[in-house]
Structure 1
């Protein structure tokens, strides 16, 4: 039942945003009673943020032996995630968190933790010699993850269907382009 509620919460929030996201609407979407939700989550904020955290199982601690390999694993995971209901909810939350006081503090705590782990991956790349010590790591990460996000937001659905989200071509090309620009001397 929790899985059904979480899936419904992601679908609903991705579709209607914070203004239309409430326990009754999630219960209707999940075809459960409101009490089933309230037994697990005290309010809509807890439901949404717990649901997203549950689905964000990024392979941050993967060590393939190279920065490129680590970034490919992470990029493929994010690429696939952004194509899902969870991705729609994340994109919406990243925009709405700035203006919704209930979401903002927990969203910023969440993103700060994610950024710290990703920077640790980059530092491991510097330590291994995969990146120069003076690499612009924040710019590299912005280009990589911004590229993944913009592809999801801006690419027409016909283009996405043609390239296929199961395809490795986009994340591989993006990782290689970003690494080439950072390692170029």
Structure 2
């Protein structure tokens, strides 16, 4: 889908941060409570023709079989739209997870991902962005340093992309990740 810019290259990035109730106050919910933490978060999504701001609460859950599982509910506002539409502020519900599939001394294989539900914005349709991944710690599997190189695949579904009904990205791709930390 083109936005009409005629450019051969585009850029896109996101910056999201959250303030943790537990870290700010020093009060813990405890390991046996279903809620791990409550956060106030916000983010900016920026691209050639896109500028979106969001703010709202996020709950981090203590769920069995998950390394983490979070649900955030944000006020979502398009400050710049690729089609120059005047869009209403709406909501975004974001679920993020990570869960082990196989974890032992030799193999660390896990699934992680997110799903965003973005509400309609006046005449613009609601959107769903879903990106589950399966990753293998390649360094650990080959007897090297754990946590540096990951091999995996992901599926990306962007339904009603940019709120345009019937426009959909549907991509399955391999990935190689190098962690600089």
1 or 2 for the larger relative contact order (CA 8 Å, sep ≥6)? 1
Greater per-residue helix proportion: 1
Shorter-chain TM-score bucket reads: under 0.3
Q: Give TM-score scaled by structure 2 length.
A: 0.27
